[in-house]
Amino acid sequence: MKRRSFLKLLGLSALYHQWLIRGVSASEGPLLAVAEGKDYARVTRNAIAALGGMKKFVKSGDVVVVKPNMGWDRSSEQAANTNPIVVRAIVEEALRAGAKKVKVFDRSCNDERRCYVNSGMVAALSGMKNVELKYLENERFKKVELKGKALSEWELYDEALHADVFINVPVAKHHQLTKVTLGLKNVMGVMGGNRGSLHKHIDEALADVNGALKSHLVVIDATRVLTAHGPQGGNLADVKFLNKVIACSDIVAADAYASTLFGHRPEDISVTVAAHKRGLGEINLKKVRIVRA
Amino acid sequence: MKKFPKITTARASQLLFLLVFFVLFVQTEYRGSDTISAAINSFFRADPLVLVSYLAATRSFSWLLFPALLTLFFTLLLGRFFCGWICPLGTVLDLVTGRIRKTAPLRILKGNLKYWLLLPLLSSALFHVNLAGILDPIAILVRALTFFLYPLFGGTVRGGWVGLYRLIGERRDALEPGFGLLRDHLLPFRETFYPLAFLSAAMFLAIVFIERYESRNWCRNLCPLGTLLGLFSRFSPFKRFPAQLCSDCKACRVTCPTSFDGEELRQDECVLCMECLGACRQDRVKFSWTLPGRVGAPFFPERRVLLGGLFSGVLLSGSFRFRRPEAQARLLRPPGVKSEDEFLKKCVRCGECMKVCLTGALYPAIAQAGVEGVFTPVVTPRLGYCEYNCTLCGQVCPTAAIPSLPVAQKRRAVIGKAVFDKNHCLPYARKTNCIVCEEHCPIPQKAIRSEIVEERDPSGALIRLQKPYLVEDLCNGCGICENVCPLEGKSGIEVFAVKDRTPLKEALPGPVQPGPAQSGSAQPGKAGGTASESDDPYR
């Protein structure tokens, strides 16, 4: 080989190398979809489609758990619970992708009957085939070895643990303790026991639980968000319309992105930081491929 | 009038009303709607004992009790038809009495005992101590069901359902549709176990037990409602003929469940069951109208019973006044109750509010409200809290002792005020963050707020602590803070009774009414410098 051609090859391979590195890093960063619009059902579908469609997550015959936040006896417009339109769209997509059964539940803070009705979920899901909207039953909580930093074990709901696909559908809102509550904290809705006692080390506790119970898909409802007096709100003056739905299979990336909607930096939210440090996902939004849909 | 319905009609009516009673009882629960259109309170609103004691105690009439006025009117006209055709307790007795072998009637019950029960109850009501509900037959039945039988039934069925899960795990889901029907329509939503369950059951069982001495023993010799109706039925122009046993037959003595102890029919004890009409082989018995005014027996057996009964009511009303002050501090009444005295005058102690309470916050008082307050409802926040948007207890209360308030008003009704116990509360006592109470406080502007302070934890490290405090003017005492406090046993925040239960200010922006009114009242929060709020960068 002549010296010139050797140098050419070297130069070209260097170029190629750089391209290769970029390409690799890009293909490894999580894909996050942000859809915006007023038709929330369509927005939800668009967000999921941008990730490659529900078929990427749900296989034919799967049992799917959709876990919205319906913890409070507040009406839909008060933004304390996940928008039922978003939930219904996800349930429909899961069924269309071939889900055998879709289960929707939450361990509510107020009386569950009022929460299920007043959140609009009962009306939104009524009459749908192969869809169960049910109250939690105490006997179904199973002690799970978490061996985490904060929690060595905790009771988790069996139907969430045994689901083929767990779709986490929080509403983005303010929280007095954690600043915002998003996907990582929404998982508290499948925890049994004295949840209030978690608050003293909530960052690590949530990382422990999310490490044991993986959310295969996170769809954050930011159609309207609560900007103050969270997590319960109650005052429409605190509600802000963003008309956005965020979808991602990486729960930390999803939370990181959603926290920016409130003007926070992802690193300011200690719950997200703790989960990232545990390797549960990507907190650096520069490494996340964000697609608008 | 000759062809009066045969025995079957009275029986059919009894069974129908018993069925209605059970349906209404089960319906007295939240089943997806904010309002309960028909509840078991209908029976109490048609109950003349409730009406008369209410009139005596409050000296005012309530249209809620108009049906009871009708019952009285028709009792004047017809006699004790209520006892033989409607009363669910009477029906239960009729259903079981055939299986209970009879000994001789108890002599102690045969005198004027029933007047000695009724008259003191009514006269003490005149002196503001309304105890009628304790012995009201329908209240006795509802309490036995609410406090004892229904939780037992629910607990047993659900226990089986849980046991099935332990046995076959998630395969149980195959049976879910069947159980779902039962759960949604028949079972109590959650099993609440009540104090005084034993006493409630014992009162009911004692009434069944004394059936062994004679049939309808309670109804004839004790029941204050029956006695009251008996007083009115004496004027009824609707009578059975012949008024005595026929000398050649006397079969009525056996057939009649209530009125033939002697030769003469006791008009005030006849419940119009019309068993004699169908049983008479000679076709002599008939029920027909006659001119009123010929009251056979003296109105009261003796004058001294009347005077003595009334006077002992005064004694009764005076003897239960003592209240333990420390129990008073936690004597929290259901939302909307403003005055304890007013409440005690009206409360029937039927237990409906406790049955309907969403979260199981209401429990019957044992001694907190003094002896005269037994069975009256008390909010017990550590066991259940008052749900912010729920108005059910006021809706089902038969006498509006708990007023039926629109939801916007109920949210502002003050039950008590929360007080932090800094020796227990986590951020104060143990320097760990918590704010579970603040999170759950349903008041949109938050009656519980927190300020962020920097303090050193036990290891000496500087930490940011969120310390909660109470904004008293916003607290309605719903008790959810005390309920959810994650401390074991004693809560770090507790609701205490207050005398001044003036509703929270209307300026509170209701969650449903956005607008300029809100920004004004949101100011105090900001001016107060709620650190957690000003700390939020997006504000």
Question: Over the stretch A221-272, which tens digit does the pLDDT of each residue have?
Answer: 999 999 999 899 999 999 999 999 999 999 999 999 999 999 999 999 999 9
Task: Flag whether residue A31 sits within 8 Å of chain B, measured between CB atoms.
Answer: no
Report the range of poorest mean pLDDT among A215-219, B143-147, B241-245. B241-245
Please tell me the pTM assigned to this model: 0.88
B331 at the A interface (CB within 8 A)? no
Q: How many independent structural domains does chain A possess?
A: 1
- Do the domain assignments include residue A18? no
Q: Place B119 in a pLDDT band, splitting at 50, 70 and 90.
A: very high
pLDDT at A161: 95
Q: Is B521 left (phi over 0), alpha (psi -120 to 50) or beta?
A: alpha
Q: Parallel, antiparallel, or unpaired for β A165-169 and A239-248?
A: unpaired
In a domain, A286, yes or no: yes
Domain containing residue B128: 9-238
pLDDT of res. B7: 52
Q: Which of A239, A280, A217, A277 is nearest to A32 (CA)?
A: A217
* Interchain CB distance below 8 Å, B446 and A229: yes
Instruction: Give domain status of residue A23, yes or no.
Output: no
Q: Is B514 on the interface with A (CB under 8 A)?
A: yes
pLDDT at B24 over 50: yes
* Mutation for testing the A interface, residue in B29, B187, B192, B435 having most A CBs under 10 Å: B435
In a domain, A25, yes or no: no
Distance from CA of A225 to the nearest CA of B (A): 13
- Over pLDDT 70: what percentage of chain B? 91
The pLDDT, as a whole number, for residue B481 is 97
What does the pLDDT look like over B154-198, one tens digit per residue? 999 999 999 999 999 888 989 988 898 898 889 999 888 999 999
Q: Is B64 contained in some domain?
A: yes
3-state helix/strand/coil string of chain A: CCHHHHHHHHHHHHHHHHHHHHHHHHHHCCEEEEEECCCHHHHHHHHHHHCCCHHHCCCCCCEEEEEECCCCCCCHHHCCCCCHHHHHHHHHHHHHCCCCEEEECCCCCCCHHHHHHHCCHHHHHCCCCCEEECCCCHHHEEEEECCCCCCCEEEEEHHHHHCCEEEEECEEEEECCCEEECHHHHHHHHECCCHHHHHHHHHHHHHHHHHHCCCCEEEEEEEEEECCCCCCCCCHHHEEEEEEEEEECCHHHHHHHHHHCCCCCHHHCHHHHHHHHCCCCCCCHHHCEEEEC
Residue B348 falls within a domain, yes or no? no
Measured between beta carbons, which residues in chain B are less than 8 angstroms from residue A159?
Answer: 170
* Percent residues over pLDDT 90 in chain B: 63
Does any domain span residue A21?
Answer: no
Q: Is the pLDDT of residue B516 over 60?
A: no
Strands B238-241 and A217-226: unpaired
Answer yes or no: is pLDDT of A27 > 70: no
Q: Give A164: exposed, middle or buried? Use CB within 10 Å, 0-12, 13-18, 19+.
A: middle
Please report which confidence band the pLDDT of residue B522 belongs to, taking 50, 70 and 90 as the band edges: very low
Condensed to tens digits (0 to 9), the pLDDT of residues B415-474 reads 999 999 999 999 999 999 999 999 999 999 999 999 999 999 888 899 999 999 999 999
B 155-184 residues with CB < 8 A to A = 162, 165-166, 170
Q: In the predicted model, what is the mean pLDDT of chain B?
A: 88
Nearest beta carbon to residue B433 from set A199, A235, A236: A199
CB within 8 Å: A199 and B436? yes
Nearest CB among A139, A200, A232 relative to B433 is that of A200
Q: Which residues of B touch A195 (CB under 8 A)?
A: 486
Query: CA nearest A175 in B: which residue?
Result: B439
- Residue A115: inside a domain: yes
B533 in any annotated domain: no
Question: Is there a contact between B436 and A196 if contact means CB atoms under 8 Å apart?
Answer: yes
Chain A residue at shortest CA distance from B536: A179
Whether the per-residue pLDDT at B298 is higher than 70: the answer is: no
pLDDT > 90? residue A133: yes
**Angstrom distance (rounded) from CA B279 to CA B255:** 7
Q: Does residue A150 lie in a domain region?
A: yes
- pLDDT given for residue B538 in this prediction: 36
The answer to the question of residue B452 being in a domain is no
Burial B78-87 (b: 16+ CB within 10 A, else e): bbbbbbbbbb
* Chain A residue with Cα closest to B448: A229
Torsion of CA A259, A260, A266, A272, to 10 degrees: 20
Give residues 380 to 399 of B whose Cβ lies within 8 Å of A: 387-390
Q: For residue B50, what pLDDT band results from cuts at 50, 70 and 90?
A: very high
Residues of A in contact with B441 (CB under 8 A): 232
Nearest CB to A263; choose among B359, B440, B538: B538
Which of A111, A122, A237 is nearest residue B358 as measured by Cβ atoms?
Answer: A111
Of all residues in chain B, the one with the smallest CA distance to A73 is B389
Any idea which of A118-127, A234-243, B261-270 has the lowest mean pLDDT? B261-270
pLDDT of residue B259: 87
- E runs forming strands in B186-291: 238-241, 286-289
B511 and chain A in contact, CB less than 8 A: yes
Whether the pLDDT of residue B14 is over 50: the answer is yes
What's the confidence (pLDDT) of residue B128? Answer: 85
* A136-152 average pLDDT score: 93
For A60, the domain range is 30-292
Name, in order, each residue with C-beta under 8 angstroms of B206's C-beta and a sequence gap of 6 or more. none
Mark yes or no for CB contact A237/B358 under 8 Å: no
Q: For an interface test with B, give the residue of A105, A176, A180, A203 to mutate (most B CBs within 10 A).
A: A176
Distance from CA of B538 to the nearest CA of A (A): 6
Asked if the C-beta of A292 comes within 8 angstroms of chain B's C-beta atoms, the answer is no
Contact B435 A200 (CB under 8 A): no
Confidence bin at B539 (pLDDT 50/70/90): very low
**Nearest-by-Cβ selection for B537 from A194, A236, A264:** A264
Tell me which of A111 and B315 has the higher pLDDT: A111
Chain B residue closest in CA terms to A193: B486
Q: Does B189 touch chain A (CB under 8 A)?
A: yes
Inter-chain CB proximity B486 and A236 less than 8 Å: no
Q: Is A267 on the interface with B (CB under 8 A)?
A: no
Of A74, A177, A227, the CB nearest to B538: A227
Query: pLDDT digits over B269-294, tens only?
Result: 999 998 888 888 888 898 988 876 55
Residue B529 maps to a domain? no
Q: Can you tell me the distance from the alpha carbon of B537 to that of B527, in angstroms, rounded to the nearest whole number?
A: 17
Beta bridge partners of B462: B456
pLDDT tens, residue by residue, B125-145: 998 889 999 999 999 999 999
Can you give the CATH number for the domain in which A253 is found? 3.40.50.11440
Query: CB distance from A127 to chain B under 8 Å?
Result: no
Q: What pLDDT, on the 0 to 100 scale, is given for residue B1?
A: 39
Q: What is the largest CA-CA distance in chain B?
A: 103
Is B43 a domain residue? yes
How confident is the model over B487-499, as pLDDT tens digits? 999 999 999 999 9
B196 is a domain residue? yes
What is the C-alpha to C-alpha distance for residues B250 and B268, in angstroms, rounded to an integer? 20
Residue pairs spanning A and B at CB distance below 8 A: 113
pLDDT computed for residue B510 by the predictor: 46
| Chain-chain contact of A235 with B189 (C-beta, under 8 angstroms) | no
Q: For residue B443, is it left (φ>0), alpha (ψ between -120 and 50) or beta?
A: beta
Average pLDDT over residues B105-113: 86
3-class DSSP state of B315: helix
